């Protein structure tokens, strides 16, 4: 699973809408599956609040903020979200 294009799209959106957002992310607690610990949760205080502020409700997966688990029927959602979290951390470390 390669989420890099979606993560780049999400990072670009945040760069435009919320400059300096990277400094707010704690990669030690980052967990895309948990609303308060996901990228949007750490920036906006909650996943849903972040979606509303960015006006991307229903599009979170397109920006790497969530996953459409039905696209991966053979994998458990914990595996998918773990991989998405790992790739976000990698992106953040490589794009400081």
* 32: number of Cβ within 10 Å: 27
Which has the closest alpha carbon to 3: 95, 96, 81, 76? 81
Among 66-70, 81-85, 88-92, the range scoring the smallest mean pLDDT is: 66-70
pLDDT band at 1 (very low <50, low <70, confident <90, very high): confident
Give the chain's domain count.
1
The model carries a pTM of 0.91
Residue 60: per-residue pLDDT: 96
Domain interval for residue 85: 4-94
Q: Check whether 71 has a pLDDT greater than 70.
A: no
Sign of CA dihedral 17, 21, 27, 33: negative
Cα gap 89→68, rounded to integer Å: 20
Q: What is the rounded average pLDDT of the residues 28-43? A: 95
Average pLDDT across the chain, whole number: 92
């Amino acid at each position: 699973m390669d989420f890099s294009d979606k993560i780049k799209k999400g990072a670009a959106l945040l760069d435009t809408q919320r400059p300096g957002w990277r400094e707010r992310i704690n990669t030690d607690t980052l967990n895309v599956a948990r609303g308060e610990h996901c990228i949007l949760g750490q920036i906006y205080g909650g996943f849903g609040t972040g979606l509303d502020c960015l006006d991307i409700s229903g599009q979170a997966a397109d920006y790497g903020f969530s996953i459409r688990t039905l696209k991966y029927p053979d994998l458990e959602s914990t595996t998918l979200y773990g991989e998405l979290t790992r790739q976000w951390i990698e992106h953040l470390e490589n794009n400081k």
